[in-house]
Amino acid sequence: MSALLIVVGVVLLLIAAFVGVYGRRQHRRSALVTGTDTTDVRDIRDEGRVELKGTIRSENAFDSPIRGDPAVLSAWEVEEWDERGSSDMWETRAEGVYATEFSLDDGTGSVTVDIGTHVDDTSTGTGIDEIQVSAIDIDRFLSGGVTVDDIVADLAGFSVETSVPPDAEPPERIAEFIRGEGSVGEQSDSITNVIDIGNAHGERRYYEGTLAPGDDVYVLGHARAAADATHPLKPEDVVVEPADGEPFIVSDKPEDELAETFGRYKYAYAIATVLAIAGAVAIAYGAGLV
């Protein structure tokens, strides 16, 4: 019996399960995007799921936390190079979506979209932080954005805006962002950088993507009647917002590109299958069954 092979097999099965869950999540998003018909704003008459495409209108833009651009939505992520574990890797420290109400105008009418603010502090969780971090990285690399509280912000311009070395003072805007966003935390000091080659322990990267007034936007969310709404509903009686347990998707990508992005779940399923087979074989050999 080989305990090491059994451990490796169990780890592979855990990763396979995670990748499979990720694939299932992307599969659901793909099905929602391809299976939901686009509604003209003027035709909104009922509460429930709705897919809309239009242009952002707003006079309530804010300065985005990383770039400082005028925005109605900022999707951001902070990651840090960590050399304390068994492997050196970029680990996500926090990610979030800041958003203010805006109007979506598709030429037939205008409706209010209220996404709200959502922040995920990834330093807390179930104790399998590296696997959780991998989930976030997959979202970033395969889609281009962040997912927090079922809010999927998939943005074409999502990218690294600023890198900050360890033991260095961040730019004032970044310092202000850290002070105001408690989930981010202070940057780690260097521990091995005298002999480091490549990334330095504690180095940080700040990602951001934004939506601004005048941008074209895709929204798949839940239409809810305002408290003072009259029936039959009219666009001005409705707010499009997240619903518990349902993905809320917002993007500046065309629908066909968005569907293609989410359609990559097939690769996740394939990878999960290979990992599961490898894990089962490792366990079998470790237990002396083959």
* Cα gap 41→217, rounded to integer Å: 13
Band (197; pLDDT cuts 50, 70, 90): low
Query: How many whole angstroms separate alpha carbon 147 and alpha carbon 119?
Result: 10
pLDDT in tens, 29-63: 888 899 999 999 999 988 999 999 999 999 999 99
Between these two residues, 44 and 9, which has the higher pLDDT value? 44
Higher pLDDT pick, 267 / 213: 213
Cβ proximity of 128 and 59 under 8 Å: no
The confidence score (pLDDT) of residue 229 equals: 84
Residue 135 has pLDDT above 50, yes or no: no
- pTM recorded for the entire structure: 0.81
Looking at per-residue pLDDT, the higher value among 72 and 4 belongs to 72
123 pLDDT above the threshold of 70: no
State yes or no: pLDDT of 134 exceeds 80: no
